[in-house]
Structure 1
Amino acid sequence: MSKLTNNVLVVVLPVIALLFLIQVVPYGKSLGNPPVISEPIWDSAETRALAKRACFDCHSHETVRPRYSKFAPLSWLVQWDVERGRNELNFSDWRNGAREAERADKMREEISGGEMPPLPYRMAHPDARLSESERQQLIKGLGKTATGR
């Protein structure tokens, strides 16, 4: 074998072995969702449908995990995103208090600024891509839902 082939094997084989070994790390492989505790009183079915499409995978206990989320290190990234999203705003553990209203305000700002849903999520989940009118409808609906008006 040539020196180049040997060098490639020295790098590639350990990387492949590492990818197999990290599959035994359980973080991110718990594919179950906790039960829904309480949802907000939605201003409309349309607002809930838009939120479900664009937000629920990270911001609820109704996460639908894609196939790639079964394999480390992607499973770690998905789990981290879901945990972080649920901690920020969780539509399945809504307590109708000031905290949720404040977080919904922040979420509306992030949707307006194009930060939510995040670009990598939109790229991997075409259904989460909202048109401008859908984004405006979601922003308005989240405001009404959060404030009860």
Structure 2
Amino acid sequence: MVVIQAIPYGRSHSNPPITGEPLWATPRTRELMVRACFGCHSNEVEYPSYASVAPISWVVQSHVDEGRQAVNYSEFDKGQRGAKNTVIAITSGFMPPSYYTQFGRHPEAKLTKAEMAELIAGLKATPGLTRG
């Protein structure tokens, strides 16, 4: 276990500069997205303390890398192809993934039904986040 700590992947906890966000329909839409999605889909990731210990750090960094690659709301100006699937991913239950909130982790990402409805309505009114 001590030897694997020498592998640097997952410990830099970098958050590249924010270059552009969607024109959120409301401040509340952004607030709910920050709570539920920005933990992997932004350049504003707040890494938990356990994310500095390998091999957990590798898993956390992998999830962040995959999330940012799918859609990064902090680099919206760079053309985020996955952004148009935002509403579908949330309403279908794919996001946030169950492992993200299991065992009491990231309780802020668990939205109530009312918050979820509010988020979906806000996302539908935000340009670039829905198909059509």
Question: Do they superpose with TM above 0.5?
Answer: yes
Q: Which moved more, 1:82-91 or 1:107-116?
A: 107-116
Mapping 1:51-90, distance limit 5 Å: 51-90=33-72
The SS at the match of 2:126 is: helix
Which has a greater percent of helix? Answer: 1
Separation of aligned partners in 2, 1:146 and 1:83: 25
4+ residue runs over 4 A deviation: none
Query: Is the CA contact 1:122–1:129 (under 8 Å) kept in the aligned structure 2?
Result: yes
Aligned with 1:84: secondary structure? helix
Q: Which residue in the other structure is 2:6 paired with?
A: 24
- CA shift, 1:95, in A, is 2.1
2-side partners of 1:103 and 1:144: how far apart? 17
Matched, 1:122 2:101: yes
Give the percent of matched residue pairs that are identical in Structure 1 and Structure 2: 42
Structure 2: stretches of 5+ with no match in the other structure = none
Name the larger-Rg structure: 1
Deviation of the 1:60 alpha carbon: 0.4
Q: Distance in 1 between matches of 2:76 and 2:6?
A: 34
Query: Could you tell me which residue of structure 2 aligns to residue 103 of structure 1?
Result: 82
Q: Hey, what does 1:14 align to over in structure 2?
A: none
Residue by residue, what CA displacement relative to the aligned partner does 1:119-149 show, whole Å, maximum 9, x if unpaired?
111121111000112112212212221348x
- Number of matched residues? 127
1 or 2 for the larger relative contact order (CA 8 Å, sep ≥6)? 2
Instruction: Give the SS at the match of 1:138.
Output: helix
Q: Over aligned residues, Cα RMSD in angstroms?
A: 1.7
